[in-house]
Amino acid sequence: YDNDLKDMHAIFYAAGPAFKSDYVHPTFENVNLYILMAHILDLSPASTDGSLSNVEQMLKENQK
């Protein structure tokens, strides 16, 4: 499978107090979900290849 093909991209929906309303984020790699969820839950994440900077645009300003 070619991960660069748009048909291979996953769908991610998020709602709640941490996320902007009516925001459409560009495609991102699933490896970034772990760091995003750890950040929202205020947990110390283990080492990962993900980066919050790849997904923090979907967060409200007070959640960054």
Cα dihedral 30, 35, 27, 49, rounded to 10, equals -60
C-alpha 55 chain-centroid distance: 4
Residue with tokens 């960054």: 64
Q: pTM (2 decimals)?
A: 0.82
pLDDT attached to residue 63: 84
- Condensed to tens digits (0 to 9), the pLDDT of residues 3-61 reads 788 888 889 999 999 999 999 999 999 999 999 999 999 999 999 999 999 999 999 98
